[in-house]
Structure 1
Amino acid sequence: MSISENKLREQICIMAKSLFDRGLTCGSSGNISVRTEDGGLLVTPTGSCFGRLDPAILSRLDKNGQHINGNQPTKEMPLHEAFYTSRSSANAIVHLHGTCSVAMSMMPDANEDNFLPPLTPYSIMKLGKVKLLPYFMPGDPRTGDAIRGLAGKRSAVMLANHGPVVAGKDLEAAVFAIEELEETAKLAMMMRGLSPRMLDESQIRNIITKFNVEWD
């Protein structure tokens, strides 16, 4: 059943405030976009704070990506557009500046192809493999080029020295997944130097098979 545009606007603001209140983003950082029933987008405006979004001023784009009403959309539209054009299953995208995931992206031993270590089953179930992308200036169109270069094979990427971006089948799925990404990064940073017992290849494969996880 489709969700009305007014309901989507309310959901964006509720989810954004929840992320803000729990310290998963701060100030005017982070952005969200959600696909509307007519193929357009609702997007958080540039310079807006997740803690006090107004449903009425969210940016509205038509199916061709043209801004038709509301405040100006986030400057990170290139990365949102890249995910929508390369992943047909994407109906919502969330980008945060999570402290632990950003810290982990700066580590010299960060794994570019599989950013999150297999500490729990949940990051595997909700995210698959997370690709670590190079640093780009915020709003740089090359961020979108890098995402399109993955040919739709990843639902989540980590922008080095910047923050995670997750695409989901709906807003709730995208939010839950990016929360899991940050929590797994927090665990990984807590465990650094302690030689934690991670999931082995057989356990990982069983999770991938049981939960039909994209793992490429």
Structure 2
Amino acid sequence: MRYEYLHPRDELVLTMQRIYRYKMTTTSGGNLSILDENGDMWITPTGVDKGTLTPNDIVCVRADGRIEGLHKPSSEYPFHKAIYAARRDLRSVVHAHPMALVAFSIAHKVPDTKLFHQAWRSNGAVAFAPYGTPGSEDLGVKIAQKFEEGFDSVILENHGVCCGGKTLQEAFQKFETLEVCCKILIKAHGLGEPKFLTDQQLQLQSKSDVPIDSFEYDPTMMTIREKDLRNQLCKFIERGYRQGLLTTTTGTFSARIDSEKFLITPYPLDRHSVLPEDLVMIRKGKKEFGKHPSRAVFSHKALYDAHPEIGAIINACPVNAMAFSVCHRSIDTYTIPESYVFVREVSLLPFETVFNDFAALTATLALQSPAAVLCNNGVMVVGQNVLSAFDKLEVLEHSAEAVLDAQPIGGHVAMSQKIIDDLIEAFHLERPAPKPSASRSRTRSRSR
């Protein structure tokens, strides 16, 4: 969706609906605003159900202070006004009370966004503003001071969070990414001590924005297979977002068209709504003219070149799998038959692998070993087709969540080697190469 074409009242409603639908605020909590080119502020109202908000409910506070609309502006209007006065570069503010960020708020802690590169790239360092009474000028001064110091994301003591951006979608991305970062940290502490990216690793990621030669793409030459794959990818990307496997800023999908071509998600991309024409064709190492592929394009190309049987690849950062990723642990699939049969043995690869060690990547991932945890970089799965890869991603995330949920009740009981041998025989699976027992995560598991 091209949000820049929407009127502020429509964009505010769509964004609030998204925040409410994904349980990042309550009926009464949270407020959004947009400052337009005339200096008028469009803001969500006070006392209106967030679940049934309409464009007619949005309030406009004119630059001269006049209020237009059916309702009063949000009670937090004072801090929105203060932020815009402190930061002339910002044109939108998002404030809400999502659960993980509230947990940090009431614990008086600030998340380290160097946990994974998208969080750091989106938010940078995060500030903490001391408590102020909701709706007061005092709270506005305290929050605006942090924004004036250069922060774009501020956790409010015993309150929630406030994020600012040049557009509403930029502010929302910061908000959503920060909430996911907090969720991952909370989950990770159930496993052990999360690890963070070094400045050198963050620079390595930023250097992956390498120019790619282009070719002139002619849509009239599109085959039925390409059309089918473009639509399949869009459906699964949107489903992945709805199910929390992706976020606005995280997740790359690709699908092979033939031996010379594949489709891949573009960069940047809002995973909430993807159109077939947004996807980028890569042909013989060149991209469609005028489009920018995901920065994972080279690692995907390496896998397609090395394994002709691979038909689809997914990178993702779902919360539970990410807990293992940031603790540098693999995910044990010796849990239930579905996990082992579909995902097999899950490897653990260093952060740098997808940037500069394609030999290790292609030696690790194949249809017989379709999943890997990437340290501080999520997970990567491959499949014969888009459905197969997506299924493996779902199973992997569900397996990770089950293992984490078992921790408070004593840890999971791993299936015995005899059960694994029976599964290999029953489902005609290829027997994996022998690995040291320590290579498989034993997160408080108890062997049979």
- The TM-score with structure 1 as length reference comes to 0.85
Counterpart for residue 199 of structure 1: 197
Residue identity matched to 1:18: R
2: CA distance between counterparts of 1:75 and 1:91?
19
Which of 167, 171, 176 is matched with 2:173 structurally?
A: 176
Which of 115, 121, 132 is matched with 1:119 structurally?
A: 115
After superposing the two structures, state which structure 1 stretch, 36-45 or 197-206, moved more: 197-206
Counterpart for residue 132 of structure 2: 136
Residue identity matched to 1:199: L
Counterpart for residue 73 of structure 1: 73
1: CA distance between counterparts of 2:128 and 2:199?
21
1:158 aligns with 2:152: no
What whole-Å deviation, never above 9, does each CA across 1:70-95 have from its counterpart, x for those lacking one?
Answer: 31011111211111011111111110
Matches within 5 A, 1:1-216: 7-107=7-107, 110-111=109-110, 115-150=111-146, 151-192=148-189, 194-204=192-202
Residues 156 and 66 (structure 1 numbering): CA distance in 2 closer, same or farther, change over 3 Å?
Answer: farther
1: CA distance between counterparts of 2:159 and 2:82?
17
Contact 2:76 / 2:135 at 8 angstroms: preserved in 1?
Answer: yes
Deviation at 1:101, TM superposition (A): 0.7
Where structure 1 has 5 or more consecutive residues not aligned to the other structure, the ranges are 212-216
Residue identity matched to 1:203: Q
Where structure 2 has 5 or more consecutive residues not aligned to the other structure, the ranges are 210-448
2: CA distance between counterparts of 1:80 and 1:210?
36
Deviation at 1:51, TM superposition (A): 1.7
What SS does the aligned partner of 2:29 have?
Answer: coil
Q: Which has the larger radius of gyration?
A: 2
Aligned residue-pair number? 206
1: CA distance between counterparts of 2:33 and 2:136?
18
- RMSD across aligned positions (CA): 2.4
Contact 2:113 / 2:123 at 8 angstroms: preserved in 1?
Answer: no
Contact 1:91 / 1:171 at 8 angstroms: preserved in 2?
Answer: yes
Deviation at 1:34, TM superposition (A): 0.6
2: CA distance between counterparts of 1:106 and 1:208?
33
Deviation at 1:116, TM superposition (A): 3.1
Residue identity matched to 2:49: C
What SS does the aligned partner of 2:164 have?
Answer: strand
- The TM-score with structure 2 as length reference comes to 0.43
